[in-house]
Structure formats: C-alpha cells, structure tokens
Amino acid sequence: MKPVNSFSKIIAGTMTWGLWGARLDTQAMTRLIHEVVDTGITTFDHADLYGDYTNEADFGQAWSQTGIPRDRVQLISKCGIAHVCPQRPFEVKHYNYSAAYIENACDTTLEALQTDYLDLYLLHRPSPLLDPEQVALAVERLLQSGKIKTFGLSNFTPIQVDLIQKHCGVSANQIEISLTMRDALYNGQLDQCLKDQIIPMAWSPLGDLVRSNTVIPEALTNVLEEVAASRGLTTAQVALAWLAQHPAGIIPVVGSTKPQRLAQAMEAMDITLTLTEWFSLTEAATGKPCP
C-alpha cells in the first residue's frame, strides 16, 4: 500500500537555485516560485547547508514577495550536516544530531524561509554517533510546538530507519534512486517504504542521464530513445516514468530551474510504462537480464 501524502507528484529541489548553481536574484527566484506552482508543483525541498547556508534565506526573501498563501505549498528542509564554509567555519565537516542542534537548526531554517512551520523536516545523512533518544527528544518538541508537521530521514538504510522508528515516527526517507543508480530497488530501502508506509523521495532522479562527466551505456540510450519516440516523450520523461512505476510511490526531487522541464516532469508521473518497457529499460541500464 502506498503511504498517504500531501506532497505534489514532483518536488522542486532548490539546491542549485542560489550560490551552488543558477545564482538567481530575488526577482528571478520570486518569478520561478510562481512558475513552479503554476505547473502544479507545490512542494519545495531545501537543506540548511545549500548554497553554503544562504539558499534558505534567499528563497525566504523571494517567497515573502510571491503573495502565495502558505497553505498552498509544502516546505521541506534537512539538517545535521555541519558543512565547512565561510558562513560556518567549523574545524572539520561533521554531523550533529544532538537535540539542541536539531532544534536550533530548525529555528534558523524557519527564520530564513520566513515561515512558521515546515511540512517535513529530515535528518540529512546518518551519523555513526547518532543517538536516537536525542533525535526523538528534539522531534517531539518540534512537533508539539507546531514548528514541523512531519518528520523523516534522508539517505538512511533500513536498519538505521528501524532504529529511529523505535523512538519516533518516520514519514519519509529521501534516497538516491534512478535508472542509473538502482541500489534502492534491492537493498531494502524501497521494500521498507512499502512495508512501513514511508514516503520515498528520490534525489537525483535522472542520475547519470544529466551528468556531463559520465558515460551512459549505449543500450540504455537506445531503449530510452525508442520508448520516448514511440510515446512522444522526452527521454527524461521516460526515466521519471520508470521511477513512477514502483508501487512504493516514489516522489522525484527535480532540481531544474526551467519551468518547461518541471512541467514535463509532472506529466511523466501520469505515464504508465508496460512491463516490457520497464524491464527493457532496467536490463539496458544493468547490462544484463533480470536474475
């Protein structure tokens, strides 16, 4: 059974909107937020460290000028990575999941985004020193205060998710899954999402298909182009439809700043591939038949 969620079929990833990518100014970011919402995408994904801790404030300034009602959109953010940069001159990159750090990071994010609450708050990556009781303490306080509506994880393995779930509820796990990065199909992450009704969110949902420094198997390129041509789609839409086929209900986090591509991504989520198409794409990506 797919978990019930209030997020749009595609999530707009904001990591490259600012310093780490497009460097959009306030006016351009305000316009992009409107264009994204106009496509039907109402969920925006953030993390405190994006843009060396500047993205959220840039988005918040733009958001404050949109006039869009807060209850029309969903805001997601993540915390826990202490990223070394001029804005945070830590001695070494590390993870911090003490209750105080989680709560303080959430307060900082809320202030930057100019909002009273987050629809979903995630721990960004697992730490070998993570204490689930500290996490549960922070999450309980944040939920009770109304600062977050739901809590989840990012990049956590099934055992790590189970550890957290013994102490507090987990509603989502944001993981890497794409045609060119398929580990989640077999390592139990997606199986657990189905079993426990956890929402799987896919970061880098197009994988190597949009990375300039990688080589795509010729067989995969050929099958993508064949399916795309037969259905009148782009190859990116075919790759997203491949994700959408999974019964766990994967929600791709798409980082494009191009409204047309985001609209195409939304269209892809309503496309149903045939079993032959799905397994042909998988076989071409792996280079061998299914075991």
Per domain, the residue ranges of the chain are 11-214+246-256
Whether 50 is catalytic is yes
pLDDT in tens, 197-220: 999 999 999 999 988 778 889 999
The upper half-sphere exposure of residue 82, i.e. CA atoms within 13 Å in the direction of its Cβ, equals 15
Specify whether domain 11-214+246-256 bears CATH 3.20.20.100.
Answer: yes
Q: Element (H or E) spanning 120, and its range?
A: strand 120-123
Q: 213 or 15, which is more confident?
A: 15
Q: What is the pLDDT of residue 208?
A: 92
20: tokens are 């780490």
Q: What is the pLDDT of residue 1?
A: 57
CA distance 242 to 250: 10
Q: Which of 50, 53, 97, 121 is catalytic?
A: 50
pLDDT in tens, 130-145: 999 999 999 999 999 9
Q: 216 or 74, which is more confident?
A: 74
Give me the torsion for CA of 127, 133, 135, 137, rounded to 10°. -160
pLDDT in tens, 233-269: 999 999 999 999 999 999 999 999 999 999 999 999 9
pLDDT in tens, 170-200: 999 999 999 999 999 999 999 999 999 999 9
